[in-house]
Structure 1
Amino acid sequence: MSSTPHKPKLAISACLLGEPVRFNGGHKASRLCLEVLGQHFEFVPVCPEVAIGLGVPRPTLRLSGEHDAPRAVTQQGERRDVSEALRGYGREQAERLRDICGYIFMQQSPSCGLHRVKLYRDDGQLQPPGTRGLYAQAFCAARPELPVEEEGRLNDPVLRENFLTRVFACSAWRALNADGLSRAGVIAFHSRYKYQLMAHNPRQYSVLGQRLAKIGDEPLETFAPRYFQDFMQALGNCATRGTHSNVLQHLAGYLKHALPATEKSELQQLIEQYRCGIIPLVVPLTLLKHHFRLHPHPYVQAQAYLQPHPETLSLRNAI
């Protein structure tokens, strides 16, 4: 479940790819995106400020007003309110970019920022804790199931792993839909992601399982989108060392009759060392995968948790 025949598509703020679309004619090229993620994804660059006609170079934007209805206003020359243009373009792109599996936004941008974008009162004073860029807000409201993240936050290994886990899960769901959605397919998808869900949100895993038991009670075309939105919301919770350790213990249980006592003890020691923060997740997981290669178990082998993203991304080496 870690890959698809084609690279998944990611929308991305165009400046992060080195395109000179910033207000001053510059860019914010991201080495992570260009050199690492670019090997695994097809990027779809977007700059909403250029798209709505502000041009390059252009006056800077500032968000002002109240948290429930911020406005984006240009700051030099004749002031121009572009709030509705940005919101409208966000809704338009949300509908147009139906084939993307995630979106990487530029942080602190009054159009694209996701977290703590500066918001000013009408008297010029800052309004903590900030807000969300207007384009990003409209886009995300229209596509609540889609994995989104800011480029700067992707430098955190836990947030990066969480985001890309969701992106590849979204890609797997898109492949399922492309093959022809069925009730059996949705149930099989949920089964493959059992331990991934357990690591991110054990309670929601149980809730989704209960919902699947009633999958025949309503039309699939209404059931499936609601299920997937809640599935993605559950994966949005970052897994912890505690929840990962719980999943590792569950997987180890499938080997209890296959391993001698010394190998069981070694595995348990590594799981405990991981839980205590001594070693990264990749260490006990690599040993588990080794044992399952020698003692295959069909249900475990199908689990997305074992490899939710390509090994070459090395995402579990630092968490």
Structure 2
Amino acid sequence: MPQNSQMPENKQMLQNQQVTPSIVYCHARDELDALCAAGITRGKLMEFHSRYKLVLLAHSQPEYREIGPFIAAMDKWPSLSEFTAEYRQRLLHLLSHSPTVANHTNVLMHVQGYFRPYLTSAQRQALAQLIEQYRLGEWPLSAPIAQIMDYMVEFPNDYLAGQHYFTFYSAQG
């Protein structure tokens, strides 16, 4: 997977342990707090949010659908610091939910769509089957993610390469 300067510093630690919601919560909180300490801007906050989109979708689909329009309206707030405080509260509440198999399956199917133009029919069917086998508990989450990461190397996509989802969940058993 392409390296991203915004990835959590202890990526190796993450890949060698079971990722719990509290680990994801702490990494997101610490990254956002570091951005704030360094001088948050609207652009930096949007970039932060963008890197966590798939993680947020895995944790809570309803809250994911609420936080997107919320951050899109940040320019309507008179104070970036007030907005950031409210965003932080909403983000951490969203991340307090444990990801579910159904939500991970939704994320995987969403990501699969990025490769649709490049994959053969057989490859699309094989990936869809692997995702379904994960959903049924026949394969660990790491199996479809490994296949997706192979496709990310073969068919690079900057948006997907910047997603923390793959850092947090690539070694998930």
TM-score (norm 1): 0.48
The aligned residue for residue 284 of structure 1 is: 144
Distance 1:162-1:292 versus aligned 2 partners, 3 A rule: same
Structure with the larger strand share: 1
Runs ≥4 in structure 1, deviation > 6 angstroms? Answer: none
Does structure 1 residue 255 correspond to structure 2 residue 115? yes
1:196 aligned residue: 55
Please report how far the alpha carbon of residue 203 of structure 1 lies from its aligned counterpart in structure 2 after TM superposition.
Answer: 1.2
1:163 to 16, 22, 26: 22
What are the equivalent positions in structure 2 for 1:148-297 lying under 5 Å apart?
161-218=20-77, 219-297=79-157
Aligned length: 163
Q: Provide the rounded CA distance (Å) in 2 between the counterparts of 1:227 and 1:271.
A: 32
Q: Which has the larger helix fraction?
A: 2
- Structure 1 residue 164 displacement after superposition: 0.9
1:40, distance to aligned residue in structure 2 (A): 5.1
Q: Which residue identity does 1:223 align to in structure 2?
A: F
For residue 211 of structure 1, what is the amino acid of its counterpart?
Answer: F
Q: Structure 2 regions of 5+ residues with no counterpart?
A: 1-5
CA distance in 2, matches of 1:251, 1:275: 15
> For residues 243-265 of structure 1, what are the alpha-carbon distances to aligned partners after superposition, in whole Å with 9 as ceiling and x for unaligned?
10000000000000111122111
Q: Deviations over 1:40-89 (max 9, x none)?
A: 59xxxxxxxxxxxxxxxxxxxxxxxxxxxxxxxxxxxxxxxxxxxxxxxx
Percent identity for Structure 1 against Structure 2: 30
**Bigger relative contact order (CA 8 A; separation at least 6):** 2
Q: What is the distance in 1 between the residues matched to 2:68 and 2:126?
A: 33
Q: Distance in 1 between matches of 2:45 and 2:28?
A: 13
Helix, strand or coil at the partner of 1:206: helix
Alpha-carbon displacement from aligned partner over 1:139-179 (angstroms, at most 9, x marks no partner): xxxxxxxxxxxxxxxxxx5xx52111111112221232233
Higher Cα Rg: structure 1 or 2? 1
Unaligned runs of 5+ in 1: 8-38, 42-156
**Where do residues 88-127 of structure 1 align in structure 2 (5 Å cutoff)?**
none
Name 2:8's counterpart in structure 1: 3
| 1:233 Cα offset (Å) | 0.7
- What residue is the counterpart of 1:304 in the other structure? 164
In 2, the alpha carbon distance for the partners of 1:173 and 1:164 equals 14
